Structure 1
Amino acid sequence: MQLKNLLLAGVGAFALSGCQYHVLSPQGWVGDQERNLLIISTLLMLIVIIPVLVMSVYFPLKYRADRADTSDYDPHFEHSTKLELVIWGVPILIIIALGWFTYVYTHRLDPYRPLDHLEAGKPVEVQAVSLDWKWLFIYPEFGVASVNELAIPAGRPVNFSLTSSTVMNTLSIPALGGMVYSMAGMETKLHLISDSTGTFAGRSAHYSGPGFAQMTFDTLSMNDSDFNAWIEKVRAEGTPLTRDTYLTLEKPSIATPVRYYGTVEKDLFQRVVELCVEDGKVCMGEMMMQDEMGGGGIAGIPNAAAYDYDRPRAIDGFGNPIDLPSNLPELDTQAFLFSPDQICSVAELKETTTNVN
């Protein structure tokens, strides 16, 4: 039996020998700080866990019912100041320590906080868009973009601006540090830095559908000269990234190969954030302004397509697009609209929309 257990342990160790523990062996300042916090928290908690594990074995053996010596049995025991100090004091001190370290590292590792205090040179701006199921990285300073490949200069901060074309995702590069969500109609921030050159795995850490497992990319950390050479390579080999090519790229695809774009249309990322890459679509900022002014009301119904974003992007459980009806359904019964004092029939609604047209 013992030999069997040893063999099973050996097989398990061999199976895990190829794992890469980036969290415990980070390659950037942010990752270093997160590892330190993880180790500190673990050690603090072990102050309680280890004694509990020891006592869970020691006390049943020492005070078992069939023991020969029961001279230490005291049925009138009620209180021990020393014991109470240990029981209450140690957890309180641990909580205070955990609270202090949490406070310090929460501010130190705020994903929105730039890494200017490192004095590591000029940051590189990267605009990241999570698509179904691939990553688009735009370099606004250089006017280039790439799909499923991220290149960064080692030793310089990288300022990420993130958004999503559809569902929520998470940009995760474990070797470099923390992650942050990308969400449609919003722009989030993340700041990372790589201390060494190399290739680090990146992926989405939030399940987003059937292509989630293949939503991965390589992070190429290079010295400055190699990074500049990569930029020139993308410019030379890449095709233009316009609003039309973006809309084609946005369509769901799984295991998309690396792709380069030598030019990027101006303000494309902002249009992605505002959900108005397509011609005729109302941008989020304008939509919110209209809502603040009271909305379009009945007169705005014929323009509903300009505000519709999710319907053309509907997919089934296998990632295939679904054609959903875009017109208002035909109703034979009374239709009620917007508020109790605005009730009209379908015929009246059609007459209203016809007059507007």
Structure 2
Amino acid sequence: MLGASAMTLLLSGCGPQYMVLDPVGPVGREELHLIILSVILTGIVIIPVLALLVFIVWRYRDKPGNRAPYQPKWSESRVLEVIWWGIPIVIVGILGYFTEKTTFALVRPPENNIAPITIEVTSLDWKWLFQYPGQKIATVNYAVIPTGVPINFVLTSDAPMNSFWVPRLGGQEYTMPGMAMRLWLQANQSGTYYGHGANFTGRGFAHMNFNVIAKPATQFYGWVQRVKSTSHPLTRAIYAQLKIPSVIGTTQYSSIPPNLFNGTVWADGGKYMPGMLPAQGTGSNSMKHNSTQ
């Protein structure tokens, strides 16, 4: 846990796209609180251990005239046993409680009183396809979302397993062939947020990047109408071309084939994430992203 926290701190300094310590939504904020708590709790163990290591090396050093007591028959100390077993057990219990609480809280929409929007995400080689079943449009390598609205990302893969991650919005979730995984995210500030695939998927892996653009709801729906009026439809033939391993830029489509996402999931075994409830809001399609079938 300490290593993961240290890695988070290191990555946060690599550039704005890795600012997991500067979240812009409730999901990222909850995860940041958990990271901070984890660092504090592990520090309670790590810092005293390191301090004791330095003290013991100095106190019991082999040096003429060393006045450290010599106790060759010493075998145990109940006080020490209670300390080095009791404190870690308490810390693990506290950490486990808050981890469980945060993890299960993030399974639900961030704002229960606001209708969410569903975006179906398919990872391909080496690109990302975003389908909006409620708005009947699609994009490649970028997504636009309204600020302050929970986004129900439903994730799958039509290529090797990958990982969907937008650092400033929240943690990552895997995309796997034959499975649909749910990830709730929300942006409370307008902006462009970097996202990428966190699993190695071959020579084009470095190009598995995308942007999530958050804008006010009125601008979001204006963008939807522009896509509908100025773009070509996404056909199954075009989707077959997208499946071919390649690196492309961004594009958008004015319509999507019925059940394209669900057909992709079921073609590879068809399993929804255990415990998934019917998706609610403006993005549900005919199959409702229901529980495991």
Bin for the TM-score computed over the shorter chain: 0.7 to 0.9
Structure 1 residue 132: deviation in Å? Answer: 0.9
Provide closer, same or farther for how the CA distance between residues 89 and 70 of structure 1 changes in structure 2, counting only shifts above 3 A.
same
Residue in 2 that maps onto 1:122: 115
Partner Cα distance (1:267, 1:78) in 2 = 69
- How far has the Cα of 1:21 moved from its partner? 4.1
Give the match for residue 6 of structure 2.
none
Instruction: Tell me, in whole angstroms, the C-alpha distance in 2 between the residues paired with 1:42 and 1:197.
Output: 30
Alignment of 1:29-40 (within 5 A): 29-40=26-37
In 2, Cα distance between equivalents of 1:36 and 1:235? 40
Q: Residue 268 of structure 1 aligns with which residue?
A: 260
Which residue is 1:259 aligned to?
251
Determine the structure 1 residue equivalent to 2:102.
105
Structure 1 position 204, deviation (Å): 0.9
Which residue among 144, 151, 155 is the counterpart of 1:151?
A: 144
Please list every run of 5 or more consecutive structure 1 residues that lacks an aligned counterpart in the other structure. 1-12, 276-282, 286-357
- Indicate how the Cα distance of structure 1 residues 63 and 136 shifts in structure 2: closer, same or farther if over 3 A, else same: same
SS of the residue aligned with 1:241?
Answer: coil
Higher relative contact order, structure no. (Cα contacts within 8 Å, ≥ 6 residues apart): 2
How far residue 183 of structure 1 moved from its aligned partner, in angstroms, is 1.8
CA distance in 1, matches of 2:264, 2:34: 36
SS of match in other structure, 1:94: helix
Aligned pairs (5 A) from 1:142-291 = 142-254=135-247, 256-275=248-267
Shift of 1:152: 0.6
The 8 Å contact of residues 237 and 260 in structure 1, kept in 2 or not, is answered as: no
The residue identity in structure 1 corresponding to 2:116 is P
**Which portions of structure 1, spanning 4 or more consecutive aligned residues, are displaced by more than 3 angstroms?**
16-21, 71-81
1:146 aligned counterpart, secondary structure: strand
| Cα gap change, 1:66 to 1:222, in 2 (>3 Å) | same
CA deviation digits over 1:110-133, x for unaligned, max 9?
xxx2316x2351111111111111
Of residues 89, 93, 96 in structure 2, which corresponds to 1:96?
A: 93
Q: Quick one: distance in 1 between partners of 2:39 and 2:87?
A: 15
Q: Deviations over 1:208-249 (max 9, x none)?
A: 111110011111011111111211221122111111121122
CA-CA distance at 1:19 after TM superposition: 5.5
Q: How many residues align?
A: 259
Q: TM-score, normalised by structure 1?
A: 0.67
Q: Distance in 1 between matches of 2:45 and 2:192?
A: 39
Report the RMSD for the aligned CA atoms in angstroms: 2.2
1:182 to 1:20, Cα distance in 2 relative to 1, 3 A: closer
Shift of the 78–252 alpha-carbon distance from structure 1 to 2, 3 Å rule, reads closer
The match for 1:134 is: 127
Q: TM-score when scaled to structure 2?
A: 0.81
Cα distance in 1 for partners of 2:135, 2:68 equals: 82
CA drift of 1:273 comes to: 2.1
Structure 1, residues 328-357: CA drift from partner, whole Å, max 9, x if none? xxxxxxxxxxxxxxxxxxxxxxxxxxxxxx
Gap change, CA 1:120 and 1:152, over 3 Å in 2: farther
Q: Which amino acid aligns with 2:195?
A: G
Q: Supply the distance in 2 between the matched residues of 1:265 and 1:20 (Cα, whole angstroms).
A: 33
Deviation at 1:98, TM superposition (A): 2.2
Cα 1:284/1:83, change in 2 over 3 Å:
closer
**Would the alpha carbon gap of residues 166 and 153 (structure 1) be closer, same or farther in structure 2, given more than 3 Å must change?**
same
